[in-house]
Amino acid sequence: MFVGSHQHTIDGNGRLILPADFRARLADGAFVTPIDNCLAVLPPDEFEQMARNLEAEAGEGLVGVNALRAFASRADHVVPDGQGRMRIRPHLREAAGLDRNVIVTGALYRVEVWDPDRWTAIAADAAEGLVEAIARGRGIGRN
């Protein structure tokens, strides 16, 4: 699982150095796609699961076929180089509002790359939601 939060930068060539903790799981490649005002960096198995879920929802009429098209066409397959750098194409940086400084967070089964201002805006709500989940008995230490 991916956990933790890291401040990083995107270099002049549009590359992000992955946090050392995340590199091993993504060394053979990953898929980058915009979701929820950030970029998701997904190991291939997670990307494939998302694709299968969307296909199933399209088959049931829960989402249109254009959702599948958007998911596939906006994604990019990347393989980090020996220094743990991966490219982030301009259309992806634009979709997530990314400039030079970014926050790279673990989101359990994926990595997320956030604009710092967007991350700050959701972080307080996210922490409050966790407190509420723990209070309902669905948080830390409960099965």
Examine the pLDDT at 138 and tell me if it is beyond 80: no
Element (H, E) at 7: strand 5-9
The predicted structure's pLDDT at residue 140: 60
The predicted structure's pLDDT at residue 106: 95
The predicted structure's pLDDT at residue 124: 74
Domains of the chain with bracketed CATH: 5-113 (3.40.1550.20)
3-state secondary structure of 71: helix
The predicted structure's pLDDT at residue 130: 66
C-alpha span between 108 and 59 (Å, rounded): 28
The predicted structure's pLDDT at residue 131: 66
Q: Average pLDDT, stretch 44-54?
A: 95
Q: Whose CA is closest to 97, among 111, 116, 110?
A: 116
Locus of tokens 């998302």: 50
**Neighbouring-strand partners of residue 103:** 7, 114
Give helix then strand counts, H and E, for the chain: 5, 8
On average, the pLDDT of the chain sits at: 90
